[in-house]
Amino acid sequence: MSANPVIGGHFTSVIRHNWQLNEVEALYTLPFNDLMFKAQSLHRNYFDPNEIQISSLLSIKTGSCSEDCGYCPQSARYDAGLKSEALMPVDEVLQAARRAKEQGASRFCMGAAWRKPKDKDVERVVEMIQGVKELGMETCVTLGMLTDEQTQRLKEGGLDYYNHNLDTSEDYYSEVITTRTYQDRLDTLTRVRNAGISVCCGGILGMGESDADRAKLLIQLANMPKHPESVPVNMLVQVEGTPLMGTEALDPFIFIRTIAVARIMMPQSRVRLSAGRTNMSDEMQALCFLAGANSIFYGDKLLTTDNPMTNRDLVLFNRLGVYSGGSSYA
């Protein structure tokens, strides 16, 4: 064992899969400046500190979802005033991908409001994946729970990333979702990993969870046999009509601390500053980048809710001297 100059403690490796709650709590409670310094120092060992990867999102099937995720405007159980849309035709999806590429996105993420897809849906999604790859973009899809066969089909179709979030800790999970279990999510993630597809997995903050819940979510992610290549950290977008509307707002510094702790625990992963940027100041986003976030969702819309206008992001990138670069894993 040797002293690590960045982390300050004694570690055989900084790529660890055995994080304990007390260690993560100790990171969370460091003085803010110390935590930011550790996160930023480690970030620089693995990434260009001024490069931000950009992904664009498209909802390829919207609303009427059978699940009861308490945050989600797409659940059929809540009235969020959303217009449902069937699975989009392939050519319309490719048009949107072309636009996203022109705007500078390197990855195109397609999301569907399903508990799980039907086999015939997967065939159409495979056509979308092939078309987007032909444009020279990385592909990501999020379709809900998958069978082994569907996962294999997506892999054969050339899919790069599968997004499937754990959302929160196992303990808090049942406060937010009752129609599928934490274990269901872990099983889908294992299928994706075993099929050789890169994993995009993270969660949502600001749902009323505790400090321990946030730490436990990060432990779930970092203690997987391999860290997810992408870790989206979403701030809850509160939507009128959903059960989580009206949840007390999270202290922005806790959000920034979570990015920093994620960066320390998963130093090679892309940590994505995901939903919720519309309500964040430029200064808060800059602190998230300093804490080690190095990816964003770019484009005026997330799936169904607003994202910052691309022009605001370009101005921010300019003011910070950061630029969008390639993609991929460190």
Please report, as ranges, the residues that interact with ligand SAM according to CB under 6 A.
71-72, 74, 111, 113-114, 142, 144, 164-165, 167, 204, 234, 236-237, 239, 275, 303
Q: Which of 200, 201, 263, 277 is catalytic?
A: 200
How would you label 122-159 residue by residue, b for 16+ Cβ within 10 Å and e otherwise? bebbbebbebbbeeebbbbbbbbbbeeebbbbbbebeb
Is 288 tagged catalytic? no
Question: Under rule CB under 6 A, how many of the chain's residues touch ligand SF4?
Answer: 9
Interface with ligand SF4, residue 262, by CB under 6 A:
no
Q: Which of 72, 153, 193, 257 is catalytic?
A: 72
Is 69 tagged catalytic? yes
User: CA quadruple 108, 114, 115, 120: dihedral positive or negative?
Assistant: negative
Is 109 tagged catalytic? yes
Q: Which of 47, 59, 87, 144 binds ligand SF4 (CB under 6 A)?
A: 144
Supply angle C-alpha 7, 201, 77, rounded to 5. 140
* Per-residue contact flags (x/-) with ligand DTB for residues 162 to 191, judged by CB under 6 A: -x-x--------------------------
Interface with ligand DTB, residue 302, by CB under 6 A:
yes
φ and ψ at 200, to 5 degrees? -115, 110
Q: Which is nearer to ligand SF4, 171 or 184 (CB)?
A: 184
Q: Which is nearer to ligand SF4, 35 or 143 (CB)?
A: 143
Q: Which is nearer to ligand SF4, 80 or 322 (CB)?
A: 80
167 binds, among ligand SAM, ligand DTB, ligand SF4, none (CB under 5 to 8 A by kind): ligand SAM
Residues pairing with 100 in the sheet: none
As given in the structure block, the two tokens for residue 11 are 């570690």
Q: How many CB atoms lie within 10 A of CB 2?
A: 7
As given in the structure block, the two tokens for residue 149 are 């066969």
What is the closest distance, in whole angstroms, from the C-beta atom of residue 72 to ligand SF4 in the complex? Answer: 3
Residues pairing with 273 in the sheet: 233, 296
Is 319 tagged catalytic? no
**Whole-angstrom distance, CA of residue 177 vs CA of residue 70:** 6
Q: What is the number of residues in the chain?
A: 330
What is the closest distance, in whole angstroms, from the C-beta atom of residue 55 to ligand SAM in the complex? Answer: 13
* Per-residue contact flags (x/-) with ligand DTB for residues 281 to 300, judged by CB under 6 A: --------------------
How far is CA 257 from its chain centroid? 16
CA distances from 198 to 60, 159, 220, 329 (A): 21, 9, 17, 9
Nearest Cα to Cα of residue 322 among 102, 47, 36: 47
User: CA quadruple 72, 78, 84, 87: dihedral positive or negative?
Assistant: positive
304 binds, among ligand SF4, ligand DTB, ligand SAM, none (CB under 5 to 8 A by kind): ligand DTB
Interface with ligand DTB, residue 70, by CB under 6 A:
no
Interface with ligand SF4, residue 65, by CB under 6 A:
yes
Is 140 tagged catalytic? yes
- Kindly state the helix (H) or strand (E) to which residue 108 belongs, with its residue range: strand 107-112
Interface with ligand SF4, residue 113, by CB under 6 A:
yes
Interface with ligand SF4, residue 74, by CB under 6 A:
yes
User: Which residues are designated catalytic?
Assistant: 65, 69, 72, 109, 140, 200, 272
